[in-house]
Structure 1
Amino acid sequence: MAENVRSHRLRPGDILAPSTLETLCHGPLRIPSGGLLHLQFRRFAGCPVCNLHLRSFSQGREQLAEAAVQTVAFFHSSAETMRPYHADLPFPVVPDPERRRRGRPGASSGARRAAGASDLHRGGWAPGIRRP
C-alpha cells in the first residue's frame, strides 16, 4: 500500500523530488536549486497576517541571500487574485488555487499551521503593527 503523503512531514535536511514551478512574476522555478529552501504555504492572497509575514521576509532578503536560503511561497489563490498583493515581492510566489502543492509531504492545514508558529508566538507579528 502506498504511503499517504499527508502522513509524512518534511524535516530540515530532507531532499525534495525535483520539480518545476510556474511562479507569479519570476518565471519557471526549478526546485530544489542546490541550496536551502524555505517553503511557505499560505491560504489566500488577501490574508493580512500572511502578507505581513511575507513583507518581513522581503525586508530580510539580504540576510537570507547571505545564508543561501531561497524562499518560495504558495497560495490557494489564482494568479489574477495574487497580482495586486504579491507582484512586487523579491522572491517567487506560486499560485496554487487547486491546492496541488498543499497535499505534498509536510504541508498540513489548520489554523496554527496557516498562521505559522512565528506568527502565533507572543510578539511574533505584533512589531509590524503600527499604533495610531
Structure 2
Amino acid sequence: MAIVGDLQEFSLPDLLQLIERGSKTGQLCIWAPGGIYRIWFYQGRVIAALPPQKEHRLESLLAHSGLVSERVVEKLASFCGLEEPLGRCLQRQGLITPAALAKLFRHQLQTGLYSLFALESGQFSFLPNVPMPYR
C-alpha cells in the first residue's frame, strides 16, 4: 500500500516508526526545498539513504575520500551482479574495508536521513516493494 502525505500532518519520526513497526520494504521519498531525498527500507530497517546531491553517492564518496577514482569504481562495478550491493561487491574485490564501508554508509545516513529531522514541511510518499538501490 502506497502512502502519500505532508510532513506537517504526519511527522518524519511517526512515518519512520510506522515503517519499522510494520516491517515494511520499499522506498520513502521526501520532497524538501533542497530536492528529493530517497530512503530505502528492507523489513522496516534503513538500508540506503540518498540526498539529492550526486556527491553523496558511493562512487563519489569513494573518489572524494581518496580510496579510488570514480572511473575505477565504474569498471569494477561492471563485475558486480545486478542484485549485489555495490559496497559489498567492492569489499569482496578488496577495494574497501568493512570499516571504511561502514563509515561511508554512516555519512550517507547523516546527509540522507538525519538532516531531514530538521524539516518543518515537505511532501512524502512511501512506495512498497520498490527495487533496492544496489548501485
State the TM-score, normalized to the length of structure 2.
Answer: 0.26
* Structure having the larger proportion of residues in helix: 2
State the TM-score, normalized to the length of structure 1.
Answer: 0.26
Which structure's relative contact order is higher, taking Cα pairs within 8 Å and 6+ residues apart? 2
